[in-house]
Amino acid sequence: MDTGSRRQDRFGRWVLWSMWVLLIAYLVGLLAGSGPVFNGSLSLVTAGLPALLCWAAVLTAERGRTQLILVAAAMTAFAAGNTYFVLAGAATLPFPSLADIGYMLFYPLILAGLGVLAHRQHGDMRRSVLVDGAVGSLGAASVLAVLLSPVIASAGVWPPSPAALVSASYPLLDLLLVSVITGIAAARGLDVGRRWASLVLGLLIFAATDVIYAFQMSAGTYAFGTPLDAGWALGLTLVAVWAWTLARPGVTAGRPLSGVWTLAVPGAATVAGMTVLVLGTQVKISTPAVALAGVTLVLGTVRTQIASRQIGRIADLRRQASTDDLTGLPNRRALYAEASAHLVPGDGHRCALLLLDLDRFKEVNDSLGHDVGDLLLVQVGSRLSGQQRPGDLLARLGGDEFALLIEDAGHDEAVAAAARLQAVLARPFTLEGIAIETNVSIGIALFPDQGDTLKVLLRKADLAMYRAKSSRSGHHVFVGADDDHGDSRLRMMEDLRGALSSDELVLHYQPKIELGTGRVHGVEALVRWQHPSRGLLPPDAFLTLAEDVGLMRELTRIVMGKALDQAALWRARGTPLTVAVNMSPSTLIEADLPERIAAMLRARGLSASVLMLEITEDFLMEDRARARDILIRLRESGIRIAVDDFGTGYSSLAYLRDLPIDELKLDKSFVFPMADDARAAALVASIIELAHSLGVRMVAEGVEDAVAYDELTRYGCDEAQGFHLTRPLPAAALDAWLAARNAPAIAR
């Protein structure tokens, strides 16, 4: 606030306090019957100071200056009329007089100010608010028209005298003023300033004083200097207080009209209109009163219809707020709202909270589209609803997470329910002609043993669910150690994010030995994490976590970049080696994968044949059409494809015929028992023969001893890798191993 504004603020405060002090003195003087000089002087001052305060408000106003100017002009007009009335001799002044011009100008000016105030907010006000205001205005007008009928009728003699016209004009203007005030009070959401009650009360007091004055003038009983005169001063003072508060610098906007009062006014106005009409059947009342009451009832009926629709919309919004749009199940908000009725401590009262999360749901979304993913969630919700018992509470929390709160269930009952739900969801789903199988991981928390609020139970069930997911056990009941596991998981997740940005991932390489010649033509790149505090971590310690939190794409990009950098370095040294990189299903389903890999190869000047991608059977079988499209595009660019852990997935081998596969990597579970189990050895021999018959190379993993190595060589296996040959090594150590391995050949 600058110096001028502070000066205006101090002046306004001085006027405000002076106005109240002099008003009290004026009222005391009127009650005490002081002389006309004393009362007349205070009458001038108590009418003039509100006008002065309003003009001070105009000068300091930061907003709404137009309506304040109109209000100040109304106050000034009244003060001017009052000044003439007092100075010209109130007792001897004829009626009407010039004073009445000032008095009557007050009405259009104050109404114009209120009109500007309401008009500026008209665009932000709902239709129901406008109808409320109209109902309140017309209802009040109909009642006032009945009360003022004798005064209004005095102007009915034709031609009416000037005194009769002026005498009738005051109550008519008061009727209009009260109607507008009542409409303001009924308009919920209308912002008329912080002290809106001062405005409404001030104008009502002013109008009530005017009505009493009109009755007294009609009866010839009005006398200047009675306590009635203080009514105008008090009403003007309250209006001036509102104007000053509205305009003060730095004062925030007012609180819109709300609450029981604004709801009661339209209802009371409708009842008043009906009362007037009923009264009209018993006694004669004026035509304007009947007309106003009739319109009030019509608008009241309209308001009732609007209110009915609003109630319906509110009920619908409330239902939507607690319902999941996709599945129609209760949502998280509804779960919190209703769970309190279930989680009530008592003798023997038990509940179990099951938190369900679909495994690999992201792959469904990414491979088949979000529309198919939504269909899957709908069918999952339907199946879960079919297993819901009366009294249980089922909700979708969001994404692919569901919660089931089971009544009267302890540990054994919760585990049985989880197994039942797993079996129900294990049945294939048919989505747009595609059969999709999905698994679910379920975390279980028990009430009251493991928590007495939904928030605590959800947290513990969430920890248990992640334990079930990481162990692939299907379900897990929370135990105390899971808290430590949860904290450790969170720390590991944050550490992994940092590892990707801080270059903490390193690659080790395991060579693939050609069994016929003993030569090394390629290696498999295996990622490790050089953790700053936990040392070198194997992939099993963090790859599942990376998949769960959506970091696998970035991790794969880093691994492939490092592997191709090393391939370029080997090529530059004259010892070219192909590099095999493992690809997760979530990475393979990306539509732009072939183009991104091709760009990485071009950036390093490498041919596509230097790279082999190792994929799993699960990816091939979940969506064979999409897998075929991706693999064909990769194969057409010259990149070779290997199926990792062959024999551990689906039994169908049709993909060997339909898909562009270059290499099968026989899982170590087939290789380990070869030395002691003739049937296992025969099975390996058959698999190798099958691969060769389809034109596919065979690589054996997990070769741990010389017996397995010799047997695989005898069966015609193409390549082998395992600890018998060498463990995965860093690039420098692998170079030394290769040099030592090639030295005898060079010596010969």
pLDDT digits (tens, 9 = 90+) for 321-331: 678 888 889 88
Average pLDDT over residues 629-653: 79
CA distance 511 to 1: 79
Q: Does residue 71 belong to any structural domain of this protein?
A: yes
pLDDT at 193 over 70: no
Average pLDDT over residues 228-255: 74
pLDDT at 259 over 50: no
Q: Does residue 336 belong to any structural domain of this protein?
A: no
Instruction: Name the least confident of 90-104, 154-168, 704-718.
Output: 154-168
pLDDT digits (tens, 9 = 90+) for 126-160: 555 555 555 555 555 565 556 556 555 554 444 45
Tell which wins on pLDDT, 704 or 167: 704
Q: Does residue 721 belong to any structural domain of this protein?
A: yes
What percent of the chain stands above pLDDT 90? Answer: 22
Asked if 271 and 159 sit in the same domain, the reply is yes
pLDDT given for residue 748 in this prediction: 46
Q: Does residue 651 belong to any structural domain of this protein?
A: yes
Closest C-alpha among 281, 314, 694, 672 to residue 683? 672
Q: How far is residue 712 CA from its own chain's centroid?
A: 61
CA distance 520 to 514: 6
Instruction: Name the least confident of 34-43, 194-203, 367-376, 418-427.
Output: 34-43
pLDDT at 747 over 50: no
Which residue range forms the structural domain that includes residue 164? 126-190+257-321
Asked if 549 and 615 sit in the same domain, the reply is yes
Query: Residue 661 maps to which CATH number?
Result: 3.20.20.450
Among 283, 301, 321, the domain-final residue is 321
Asked if 181 and 88 sit in the same domain, the reply is no
Asked if 644 and 659 sit in the same domain, the reply is yes
- pLDDT interval class at 120 (50, 70, 90): low
Among 231, 254, 277, the domain-final residue is 254
CA distance 539 to 603: 27
Q: Does residue 329 belong to any structural domain of this protein?
A: no
Tell which wins on pLDDT, 118 or 466: 466
SS3 content of the chain, % helix, strand, coil (to 5): 65, 15, 25
Residues found in the chain: 748
pLDDT given for residue 231 in this prediction: 85
Asked if 75 and 161 sit in the same domain, the reply is no
Tell which wins on pLDDT, 71 or 173: 71
Among 454, 479, 504, the domain-final residue is 479
pLDDT at 740 over 80: yes
Q: Does residue 547 belong to any structural domain of this protein?
A: yes
pLDDT at 394 over 70: yes
| Side-chain half-sphere exposure of 56, counting CA atoms within 13 A | 25
Asked if 408 and 511 sit in the same domain, the reply is no
Count of the separate structural domains present in the chain: 4
Asked if 362 and 316 sit in the same domain, the reply is no
Q: Does residue 326 belong to any structural domain of this protein?
A: no
Average pLDDT over residues 111-136: 61
CB-CB contact of 173 with 145 (8 Å): no
CA distance 554 to 647: 29
Element holding 512 (H helix, E strand)? strand 505-514
Average pLDDT over residues 378-397: 90
Asked if 455 and 502 sit in the same domain, the reply is no
- pLDDT interval class at 599 (50, 70, 90): very high
Asked if 401 and 389 sit in the same domain, the reply is yes
CA distance 726 to 512: 10
Q: ∠ CA 145-147-148 to the nearest 5 degrees?
A: 65
Tell which wins on pLDDT, 274 or 252: 274
23, 29, 35, 38 alpha-carbon torsion, rounded to 10°: -30
Asked if 627 and 580 sit in the same domain, the reply is yes
Asked if 282 and 315 sit in the same domain, the reply is yes
Structure token digits, residue 455? 């928030």
Helix (H) and strand (E) counts in the chain: 28, 17
The DSSP code sequence of 181-243 is HHHHHH-TT----TTHHHHHHHHHHHHHHHHHHHHHHHHT---TTSTTHHHHHHHHHHHHHHH
pLDDT given for residue 668 in this prediction: 85
Asked if 145 and 91 sit in the same domain, the reply is no
Query: Residue 467 maps to which CATH number?
Result: 3.30.70.270
CB-CB contact of 509 with 728 (8 Å): yes
Average pLDDT over residues 658-684: 85
Q: Does residue 748 belong to any structural domain of this protein?
A: no
Closest C-alpha among 241, 249, 179 to residue 207? 179
- pLDDT interval class at 486 (50, 70, 90): low
